[in-house]
Amino acid sequence: MSRIIGALVLVSFVTQHALAGDSHSTAPTPGGMAQSAAFPSTCGCGFTPGDDISTLKYGSDGDFDQSTFVGGVSAVASSYIGTNIDLGGDCTATLGAIRGHADRTSLNSENFAGGYANGGWNDRLTVSHPSYTGQAGYLVFRVRVRASLHASGFSGSSQMLACIWKNDAAVALNAYFDPADADSVGSTAQKLTWKLATYSTAASEDRSIDSIVTFSVPITIGTQFKLGVFASAVGGQRSKSSVGGASSSSVDFSSGGVTWDGIDAIYVNSQAISGCTISAQSGVDWTLPYSNCPADFNHDGFVNGDDYDAFATLFENGELGADFNHDGFVNGDDYDLFASSFEAGC
């Protein structure tokens, strides 16, 4: 399989919004979004990563933040502190990675209080092969999920979730999907969850996650499609009750987080095929795992002259893909920051 051939240049741009609105379908492509929330009263209902979490809120209290990005990074944070209640959530999202926290400590009598993190990225991909144009197939890829869950007290409940979207629709289960050690969600879509709950005032439980899951998207060879990868964390409340005392829940996925882990294979007629070209509108090489290295400008897993040339070309043309510090401008500050990162390597 050849490496990705970029179709368009990345544009670095971040926007902030008022309450309500952002979701996987409205976030930029290529690009994405991040949301955070701290709500003392919610519906207590489930949701799918990439949905607008502001819809979970009941009442006027609470804190919510969101932003979208095109090529850059979105970082948001929310908090709510009151009598016997402390809630928080933060999320950072970029092309290939989602990280954050979600925390709750409150009385068991609260109305499903929670801290939330929610975010992800979109891109448009085309899988091409001269011998299979127009034929149906599957793009099979991996995502790594790393997080720590904690729950304590009578109504502790923490949850890590991840899912994919194709052309803004949920992707049905198929033979190539492998949820690894994720908990069963009883869904017909490729949606993952890892849960932890406690049921007594003295209970305290922890769960560590480091899973590589396999998603599989149906495609048509030679036809562009939109792919979204989104994740959420909930420091929630298992139940609303008259049981005295407080309980706590937290999810920490700020270190490893949810990251792209590369493409496994392209299947046509139940056979893996070679010789494919995979192009991405963002220019990211999705055949490779996510690289948390700013100097790896072309995302090929190495820091070398190719990265310098790619940055210099965009910089000389004044294109926003060279906005290395994501401040909305292309100037000497970007050049200096890239040069420092390039010299440091990874």
Give the least confident one: 115-119, 126-130, 316-320: 316-320
Q: Mind listing the pLDDT tens digit for each residue in 87-100?
A: 999 999 999 999 99
Q: What is the pLDDT of residue 138?
A: 98
Contact 299, 260 (CB under 8 A): no
Q: What is the pLDDT of residue 186?
A: 85
Q: What is the pLDDT of residue 183?
A: 96
Q: What is the pLDDT of residue 263?
A: 96
Q: What is the pLDDT of residue 164?
A: 98
User: First-to-last CA distance in the chain?
Assistant: 26
Phi, psi (rounded to 5 degrees) for 223:
-110, 125
Query: Could you give the CA distance from residue 47 to residue 55 in angstroms, rounded to a whole number?
Result: 10
Helix (H, G, I), strand (E, B) or coil at 69: strand
Higher pLDDT, 303 or 220: 220
**pLDDT at residue 118 is higher than 80:** yes
Q: What is the pLDDT of residue 327?
A: 63
**pLDDT at residue 20 is higher than 70:** no
Q: What is the pLDDT of residue 195?
A: 98
pTM: 0.83
Q: Mind listing the pLDDT tens digit for each residue in 50-82?
A: 999 999 999 999 999 999 988 778 899 999 999
Q: Mind listing the pLDDT tens digit for each residue in 126-137?
A: 999 999 999 999
What DSSP state is assigned to residue 178?
B
Query: Could you give the CA distance from residue 99 to residue 80 in angstroms, rounded to a whole number?
Result: 20
**pLDDT at residue 13 is higher than 60:** no
Query: Could you give the CA distance from residue 13 to residue 27 in angstroms, rounded to a whole number?
Result: 12
Phi, psi (rounded to 5 degrees) for 137:
-160, -165
Q: Mind listing the pLDDT tens digit for each residue in 209-227?
A: 999 999 999 999 999 999 9
Q: Name the band, by pLDDT with cuts 50, 70 and 90, for residue 6.
A: very low
Tokens of residue 164, six digits: 């994919």
User: Average model confidence (pLDDT) for the chain?
Assistant: 90
Q: Mind listing the pLDDT tens digit for each residue in 279-300?
A: 999 888 899 888 777 788 776 6
Query: Could you give the CA distance from residue 63 to residue 58 in angstroms, rounded to a whole number?
Result: 12
Query: Could you give the CA distance from residue 87 to residue 8 in angstroms, rounded to a whole number?
Result: 40
Phi, psi (rounded to 5 degrees) for 322:
-95, 10
pLDDT, average across residues 27-49: 95
Structural domain spans, the chain: 5-280, 305-344
Q: What is the pLDDT of residue 158?
A: 98
Cα 9 to Cα 189, 226, 284, 294, 315: the distances in Å are 32, 17, 9, 16, 12
Higher pLDDT, 4 or 190: 190
User: What is the number of alpha carbons within 13 Å of residue 241 lying toward its C-beta?
Assistant: 16
Contact 199, 151 (CB under 8 A): no
Burial status of residue 239 (CB atoms within 10 A of its CB: 0-12, 13-18, 19 or more): middle
**pLDDT at residue 320 is higher than 80:** no
Q: What is the pLDDT of residue 345?
A: 81
**pLDDT at residue 322 is higher than 80:** no
Phi, psi (rounded to 5 degrees) for 56:
-80, -20
Closest CA to 52 of 73, 75, 35: 35
Query: Could you give the CA distance from residue 203 to residue 200 in angstroms, rounded to a whole number?
Result: 5
Look at the chain and count its residues: 346
Query: Could you give the CA distance from residue 150 to residue 210 in angstroms, rounded to a whole number?
Result: 15
Taking the mean position of all CA atoms in its chain, how far away is CA 136? 27
Tokens of residue 111, six digits: 């109305």
Query: Could you give the CA distance from residue 134 to residue 37 in angstroms, rounded to a whole number?
Result: 43
Tokens of residue 285, six digits: 């090489």
Helix (H, G, I), strand (E, B) or coil at 207: strand
